[in-house]
Amino acid sequence: AAAEGHDSKGRGRQKHGRSKLPQKLAIEYKCDIANSQLEQKQKEMDETKKHSEKLIDTLKAVLEETDIRIAELKKDAYEFKRDIVVGAENMRTGKTMAEKVQKYMEDKLKNRDSMIDKLKLKNVTIKAQIQKVENQLKQKEEMGDVLHYIDFHQLQIENKQYVSRIEERNDELLKLKMTTGATVQTLNSQKEKLSALQQESEWLQREIKSRTDLLAKVRDDNRQVSADIANDRRSRKRLSQQQSETADMPQVLDYVSQKAELYELQDALANWERKVEIMEMAAKRARSLRRLQSQSFTEGMMM
């Protein structure tokens, strides 16, 4: 009996709990839920559409900017090849003239600076237009003039367009500044290369002058040697002619031997002359002795 009473109490509590839960939703409540879900989905679709359109516009702008940059790079590459790689090449040495490279880079920097000035001027003009529109809006608000929804929406669109243009110009200005920085670095590098090339050119000029002086000296020595060779040839020719003319004359050894024999004969002649003198002196003494003997004999006979 206690168990049955407990079961009857439990079933009573279950029936009482079920009676508190709603059995079905009302039509108005369902419509409100559906409308709220529909509005939420519509907002999400609108936001997704706006985001997609903005992303598409951004990608289109990036593609256009990329195409423009590619065209500019192709043009710069063509002009660089035309003016520097081919036009600035020295026909004699085959090297690129540094003056034309420097002038080309300076012209590019001037063009970049002028482009930056133009973009700054456009940026200032657009900011002035935005300020003008904002002043007009402020003036209308102060005058109490109520703007229509279409006019206000149109102004918002124009404001967004101007802001977008300002952002684009700022991006272009930033890109140009980065490009200018890279160009300045390239110019500094080219200046360093130019300085090195000038030093090398000065060294080459000094080396050329030294080699030219050495070449002139070698040429003078060559002319002197050629003159000496010509003189030697003339001397040899003259000696050969003299040798042919004096072919019948005695040789040098014969001349030396004959000269030695002459000296010997002269010495012998001198000896014989001294002997003759001695004999003559002896003969004179003998004659004088005979004369004295004959005189003494004659005197003895007379006595």
96 DSSP β-pair partners: 89
Cα-only R_g, the chain: 67
**Among 82, 124, 119, which residue's Cα sits nearest to residue 104?**
82
CA distance 292 to 277: 22
**Per-residue buried b or exposed e for 104-134, using 16+ beta carbons within 10 Å of the residue's own CB:** bbeebeeebeeebeebeeebeebeeebeeee
CA distance 34 to 27: 10
- Look at the chain and report how many structural domains it folds into: 1
Domain residue limits at 51 = 29-87
CA distance 102 to 94: 18
Q: Is the pTM of this model over 0.85?
A: no
Is residue 51 situated within a structural domain?
yes
Is residue 198 situated within a structural domain?
no
Is residue 39 situated within a structural domain?
yes
CA distance 48 to 50: 5
Q: Which 8-state DSSP code applies to residue 96?
A: B
Is residue 280 situated within a structural domain?
no
CA distance 102 to 88: 11
Is residue 43 situated within a structural domain?
yes
Is residue 169 situated within a structural domain?
no
Is residue 206 situated within a structural domain?
no
**194 and 98 Cβ atoms separated by less than 8 Å:** yes
Residue type, 257: S
CA distance 130 to 163: 8
Is residue 260 situated within a structural domain?
no
What is the rounded end-to-end Cα distance, in angstroms, of the chain?
Answer: 248
- pLDDT tens per residue across all 303 residues of the chain: 344 444 444 444 444 444 444 456 677 777 777 778 888 888 888 888 888 888 888 888 778 878 887 887 787 777 777 776 666 666 666 666 677 777 777 888 888 888 888 888 888 888 888 888 888 777 776 665 444 555 666 777 777 787 788 888 778 777 877 777 777 787 778 778 887 888 888 888 888 888 888 888 888 888 888 888 888 888 888 887 776 766 566 566 777 888 888 888 888 888 888 888 888 888 888 877 777 777 766 666 565
